[in-house]
Amino acid sequence: MAPKTDFPPIRACLFDMDGLLLDTEDIYTLCVNLILEKYQRPKLPWAIKAKLQGRPGPAANALFAEWAQLPISLEEYAKELYALQGQHFPGTQPLPGIVRLLGDLGRTRYWDIKKKSAATNGTTNGATNGASKPLPSRVHIALATSSHETNFRLKTNHLTDLFSVFEGHRRVLGDDKRIAPGRGKPLPDIFLLALRTINESLPAGEEPIKPEECLVFEDSVPGVEAGRRAGMRVVWCPHPMLKKVYTGREAEVLAGRTGEAGDVDLHQVGEVDDGWAEYFPTLVDFPYEKYGITVPPAEVEDELSMQEEGKIENGEEIQVVEGASSAA
């Protein structure tokens, strides 16, 4: 089929974390292989690891246990695994291109500030320089990770500056009570919930964001399928070894048609080569223009209005606002 090209500009980016934002996949493999070696089992092959990626911990552990056939219970395996992760995850670092990507997207809040200023000055089209062309739009971002709260903290407590771009109410973790048990990736619930957290906190007057205006960033195959089933566009940026596993099947992955969700209604996933998803070997120098995203220059961070807005979004003034609201 001919790929779709007439997409609306992206208004929201939803991010997976492990293997996409953070270089955790090799740490996961190391921890698992240490346990396998302890019990004289073969190392974890990428063909099996590919099925574990992106899924909530309990679901991934159950799949692993079925393959590994360890002489210990699933509970004992999980205990040993989490102990090893506790040793190794605190050293996790962002993958190439991520610091700049998150910084660039976070800086698009500048367009909201300029529009507010234009409205104050009586300019209806959002332009403040006398031009008729409206200003670009902010890109809202949210986190949608299968990692549970404990593991999330292990991986990110030393990276608070990096993750500060994700407002607290726009972080959806794998143990979020709003996601029903058994509804993790490759089902679409986590991405639909992430979009809901954005729409529920949009500035007054901003139109709700539609799924087709969202761009999902994923490294895992189940994650790509979840994004496609949510009706969103997807960027697939996998580990090189995962890409090797799916050599020749890339089009199936991008369509969400690998069967990772089991027996599903095919109308809920995409079509091969439909243009809704694309493979990227790296997120360095991401092509924003292709997705209708305009990033303001880094110099705008020095403007007083940006610094004040940043303080509010990071919660430094939230208590004052809430207190005044409660007293009213």
DSSP annotation of 302: G
Catalytic residue among 16, 176, 189, 219: 16
Among residues 18, 176, 189, 219, the one annotated as catalytic is 18
CA angle 39-245-192, nearest 5°?
95
Helix (H, G, I), strand (E, B) or coil at 12: strand
To the query of whether residue 18 is one of the catalytic residues in this protein, the response is yes
What single letter denotes the amino acid at residue 57?
G
14, containing H or E segment: strand 12-15
- Beta-carbon count within 10 A of 148 CB: 16
* Contacts of residue 294, Cβ cutoff 8 Å, sequence gap at least 6: 108, 111, 136, 288
Q: Which residues contact 105 (CB under 8 A, 6 or more apart)?
A: 13, 139, 141, 165, 293, 295
Burial profile 10-20: b = 16 or more Cβ within 10 angstroms, e = fewer: bbbbbbbbbbb
Residue ranges in the chain assigned as alpha helix (H): 25-38, 46-52, 57-68, 74-88, 98-107, 109-120, 149-156, 160-163, 189-199, 221-229, 240-245, 250-255, 304-313, 318-327
Listing from the earlier edge strand, what are the strands of the sheet with 233-236? Answer: 171-172, 140-144, 12-15, 214-218, 233-236, 277-279
Q: Known catalytic residue: 16? A: yes
> Which residues are catalytic, by number?
16, 18
